[in-house]
Amino acid sequence: MTDDGLHALDTAALEFFARKGLEGGPNVPQAGPANAVKVRRVMQLTQDLASKPFSELRILDLGCGDGVYAIEAGLRGADVLGLDARSERMAEGARVASRHGLRNVRFVQRDVRSVTRESLGIFDVVYLLGLLYHLDIPDVFQVLENVAALCARMLIVDTLICSTAELETEWRSEVYRGRRYREHEDADSAEVRRSRVLRSIDNVFAFRFTRESLVRVLSATGFPSVLGGDAPLEPGKAEDRITVVAMKGEPVRISTYPWINGLTESDIARTLASEAGTCP
């Protein structure tokens, strides 16, 4: 296997990936063959920012679904673990990996809310694609903290956000803004909820951050640099869906403005607001 990742897949595999997301109906953006643009973006960002070639990377794909990202990274030589709470689509992805001899790609059925560093170890790169906006409060915060603990280099998040917040929620003494959206009806059975593969596994509501709050929570959980992953372009991408790359590291300290060192983003905002209020 080489880092360019160009391998001929069998017809059954190509047809399987061409059906990705189509179960959501005709209004799902970037479903079916159009999902190619999203896979290309994720692979390009990984290649350019992970600091090591694919063949040296350990990658965790959370909420992997049919496993297309795990398999694409595995074809490039990465050691990949795909996790999903549902087994239906993931089982077919595992069969694709097996048919193509990808012993470096594994799939495990597990709820993302149970994922920890202690249970899985450390990964160079974590994919959190199309999953975060299916989690509710407080799970969404705990999952991000757990992911930060097991991520050594970078986290790629592709998620829906809200443009106008309707509620504020507090976590670790910081306030974050967003909106809750319904995933299921209150009376839906566990079986019905599980059968809806493009929704949450069980929670009735899910929380979506504003873009500003998403960046702040990523920064607060250990990713001091959060970059907008806007290219390669994704024609047809929903306006309220974004890709960001969160990089692990230590917050820098500076000498030219020492007052800022050690402050949270909220502390900085309050300090600057206070300073602005004292100006004549």
Q: Is the per-residue pLDDT at 83 higher than 90?
A: yes
Residues whose CB is less than 8 angstroms from the CB of residue 88 and which lie 6 or more positions away in sequence, other chains included: 197
pLDDT at res. 2: 42
Query: Global pTM?
Result: 0.93
**What is the token pair recorded at 196?**
């809806």
Q: Is the per-residue pLDDT at 158 higher than 90?
A: yes
Q: Is the per-residue pLDDT at 1 higher than 50?
A: no
Query: Who wins on pLDDT, 196 or 161?
Result: 161
pLDDT tens readout for residues 97-116: 999 999 999 999 999 999 99
Q: Is the per-residue pLDDT at 248 higher than 80?
A: yes
Q: What is the mean pLDDT of residues 152-164?
A: 97
Residue 159 has φ and ψ, to the nearest 5°, of -155, 160
Of 156, 116, 167, 107, which is closest to residue 132 (Cα–Cα)? 156
Q: CATH for 11-249? A: 3.40.50.150
The alpha carbon of 59 is separated from its chain's Cα centroid by a whole number of angstroms, namely 12
Q: What is the mean pLDDT of residues 163-174?
A: 95
pLDDT at res. 31: 77
pLDDT at res. 231: 93
Residues 105, 96: Cα–Cα separation, whole Å: 10
Q: What is the mean pLDDT of residues 120-133?
A: 97
The model's confidence at residue 278, banded by pLDDT at 50, 70 and 90, is low
Other beta carbons within 10 angstroms of residue 50's beta carbon come to: 19
pLDDT at res. 85: 94
Mean pLDDT of the chain: 92
Of 56, 85, 61, which is closest to residue 72 (Cα–Cα)? 61
Other beta carbons within 10 angstroms of residue 111's beta carbon come to: 15
Give the start-to-end residue ranges of the domains of the chain: 11-249, 255-280
